[in-house]
Amino acid sequence: MTKYSVIIIDDEEPARLLIKNYLSKHAEFELVAECENGFEGLKAIQELKPDLLFLDVQMPKISGFELLELLDEYPAIIFSTAYDEYAIKAFDLNAVDYLLKPYGQDRFDKSIYKAAQLLADKVKFEEPIKALIETRPEQQPVIDRIVVKTGSKITVVPTAKIQYLEADDDYVEVHTLDERYLKQQTMKYFEAHLDDSEFIRVHRSYIVRISEIIQLEQYEKDSKILILKSGKKIKVSKTRLKNLKEKLGI
Amino acid sequence: MPNPFLAKKEYIIPYAAVWILIAGIHAAVLYFFSERLLLEASVDALIFNIILAGLGLSVWYAIRYYDSSNSTALDTLLYHLVTGTVALTVWLASGYFLVRISLPDFESYREFLNESMPWRGISGLLVYSLMVLVYYLYINLENAKEQRKKQDELQLQVREAEIDRIKAQINPHFLFNSLNSVSSLTLTSPEGAREMLVKLSSFLRYSLEFKENELTNLSDELDHIEQYLAIEKVRFGKRMQPDIQYGDDCKDCRLPNMILQPLFENAIKHGVYESTDPVEIKTHIRKEGDILRISLFNTFDPEAPPRKGKGIGLRHVANRLSLVYQLDNLMHVDKADNTFTVTLIIPQITIS
């Protein structure tokens, strides 16, 4: 019998212990790693490629959701948290189940049967459908940080450091004063989730921090460009000009 | 408050109807009993009653203008005697004048009118008094209504504040995570689980008994904090390193109850939650003359971006202190490098 491999990611030891105990009743699942934060978790997932993940949401460094954003391949995921407010988001991410702490063996078994069924059917746990998250901006009204991965290095970029964002195919370039990061995400997502009192979308390919703008200049006959404090010039699309002027109060 | 008769349709119509009735009776009495001409009776009734109806409405303004809240009953009586006399004089004089120019043959009516003047004065006085009574009654009813509304609103606010407070004191995530730890402890250490449940119960009891303005001894507050930290210690283990130091002379110092727990909760939320390294939570408590100085230091990961919602718990503490002691600046917050410091200054002078 092939065993399904499991990783537990939870920053509280008693919580991991409990999952381990519940899991020990299911011989077809095998624990391959337990991690106490998102960084460790990410490393373990990439190395061990587990079939199933027990994931806490609130953790140091990066949250459970931020961890998922960094994955290329998705295992089956069962969330295990005391926070009930993320349930909808979790199911948007194709989670197998959402366990609310504290839960008992019964409830745990239900999740694990469901996971076993899905794994047996070889259901592909796709990357979350980003479009779905975009249509639910209320799920995470305003983000205050972005987690990015450069090679094996993970960086948490506070949105307060962002100067502007530039679209780049399937990615978005995140520009801070002295760095540039690539994030696999859409402009639409950032337009919906960045604080709109701080950021404004001025072009199909650009979102700019309002306080970075120092000048709005005539470019060609009927197009304008923005000049940022850093000297960077950014195109403004005609359709978004009116909104920009309103924001700048001109 | 606007004049009720002018402001509301349901009042002005009966008011007008009553005056039409009075004018009708007035005319009928003159016509049938005093045997005056129909013209004389109608003109007299019309003129005198229209003016009196108008005066009746303006009595409102005399009442509203006069602030009776800090004057004696005698003052009020005197005031109305004066305004009443003036109003009635104006009424009688203008009525007399208008009747005189309206009747073609006034001379034959003059004697009758003169003789009836005292009676008109008396009935006018009655109308004036009645109007004053009606207005005062109306004002009192309206005030009572207003007061009841205000009281209801206040009660609602108090209740809402109470609920907010309970929610703020007992963070549901803390509660559920702790219960999850208890559940886990039953596997490894049933004794530990029992101990934790006892601590959790005392913590909850203390939190639920909490009253906004009540003061307590520092030693009670610290017992409560120790329970809280012991519970959190089970969850976080080595990641949380609390250390509380205080002099013996501090134990009996008074402070608002449940004032410390939000500080520790804040330290855990922004220190321990966000860090993978052990986080120190140091507390120094000193008595300095008339004040008790409580300082809480916690290390935090400077690279972890600040989380949203920061400072609500702390602001609540600052607000409570300024409410209880009627002094501002009793809480200071300082953030440097990787240490966050909150200092409370608790006056030890008895508050009246």
Q: Where in chain A are the domains?
A: 4-134, 145-248
pLDDT band at B28 (very low <50, low <70, confident <90, very high): very high
pLDDT tens profile B49-89: 999 999 888 888 888 888 767 778 888 888 888 999 999 99
B142 and B265 in a common domain = no
Q: Does the residue B126 lie in any domain?
A: yes
What residues in chain A have their Cβ under 8 A from chain B's Cβ atoms?
Answer: 11-15, 17-18, 21, 36-37, 39, 58, 60-61, 82-83, 100-102, 104, 142, 144-145, 156, 158, 160
For range B246-255, the mean pLDDT: 91
pLDDT tens profile A138-173: 555 688 888 898 877 888 888 889 999 999 888 999
State the pLDDT at residue A131: 42
CATH number at residue B301: 3.30.565.10
Architecture of domain A145-248: Beta Barrel (2.40)
State the pLDDT at residue B214: 80
Q: Does B234 score more than 70 pLDDT?
A: yes
pLDDT tens profile B146-157: 999 998 888 887
Distance CA A237, CA A205 (A): 9
Rg (CA), chain B: 38
B245 and B143 in a common domain = no
Q: Do A39 and B276 touch (CB under 8 A)?
A: yes
Identify whether the C-beta of residue B97 lies closer than 8 Å to the C-beta of residue B113.
no
pLDDT band at B169 (very low <50, low <70, confident <90, very high): low
Bridge partners (DSSP) of residue B221 are none
For range B267-274, the mean pLDDT: 88
Residue A12 C-alpha, separation from nearest chain B C-alpha, in angstroms: 6
Interface A-B: count of C-beta contacts within 8 A: 71
Residue B295 C-alpha, separation from nearest chain A C-alpha, in angstroms: 25
Contact B179/A at CB under 8 A: yes
Q: Does the residue B205 lie in any domain?
A: no
Mean pLDDT of chain B: 87
Amino acid (1-letter code) at residue A104: G
State the pLDDT at residue B298: 92
Q: Cα–Cα–Cα angle for B78, B82, B84, nearest 5°? A: 110
| Host H or E run for residue A114 | helix A105-120
Phi/psi-derived region of residue B284, left when phi > 0, alpha when psi is between -120 and 50, beta in every other case:
beta
Last residue within a domain, chosen from B104, B130, B150: B150
Residue B22: give the domain boundaries. Answer: 4-150
ipTM over 0.90: no
Q: Does the residue B190 lie in any domain?
A: no
Q: pLDDT under 50 in chain A at which residues? A: 129-135, 137
DSSP label at A83?
-
pLDDT tens profile B273-285: 888 889 999 999 9
Q: Does B166 score more than 80 pLDDT?
A: no
State the pLDDT at residue A132: 46
B138 and B43 in a common domain = yes
Residue A211 C-alpha, separation from nearest chain B C-alpha, in angstroms: 20
Q: Do B176 and A21 touch (CB under 8 A)?
A: no
Last residue within a domain, chosen from B133, B150, B167: B150
pLDDT band at B224 (very low <50, low <70, confident <90, very high): very high
Q: Does the residue B192 lie in any domain?
A: no
Q: Do B305 and A144 touch (CB under 8 A)?
A: yes
Domain count, chain B: 2
Last residue within a domain, chosen from B150, B185, B220: B150
For range B185-194, the mean pLDDT: 94
B9 and B146 in a common domain = yes
Topology adopted by domain A4-134: Rossmann fold (3.40.50)
Q: Does the residue B105 lie in any domain?
A: yes
pLDDT tens profile B8-20: 888 888 899 999 9
Q: Helix A13-23 and helix B218-236: axis angle, to 10°?
A: 40
Q: Does the residue B261 lie in any domain?
A: yes
pLDDT tens profile B310-351: 567 788 888 888 888 888 899 999 988 889 999 999 999 764
State the pLDDT at residue B172: 84
Q: Does B307 score more than 80 pLDDT?
A: no
Q: Does B108 score more than 90 pLDDT?
A: no
Amino acid (1-letter code) at residue A205: S
Q: Does B352 score more than 60 pLDDT?
A: no
Q: Do A15 and B304 touch (CB under 8 A)?
A: no
Length of chain B: 352
Task: Report helix, strand or coil for B335.
Answer: strand
DSSP secondary structure string, B256-301? Answer: ETTSSHHHHHHHIIIIITT-SS-EEEEEEEEEETTEEEEEEEEE--
Per-residue buried b or exposed e for A32-48, using 16+ beta carbons within 10 Å of the residue's own CB = bbbbbbbbbbbebbeee
For range B102-116, the mean pLDDT: 86
State the pLDDT at residue A137: 45
B29 φ/ψ angles, rounded to the nearest 5 degrees: -60, -45
Q: Does B121 score more than 80 pLDDT?
A: yes
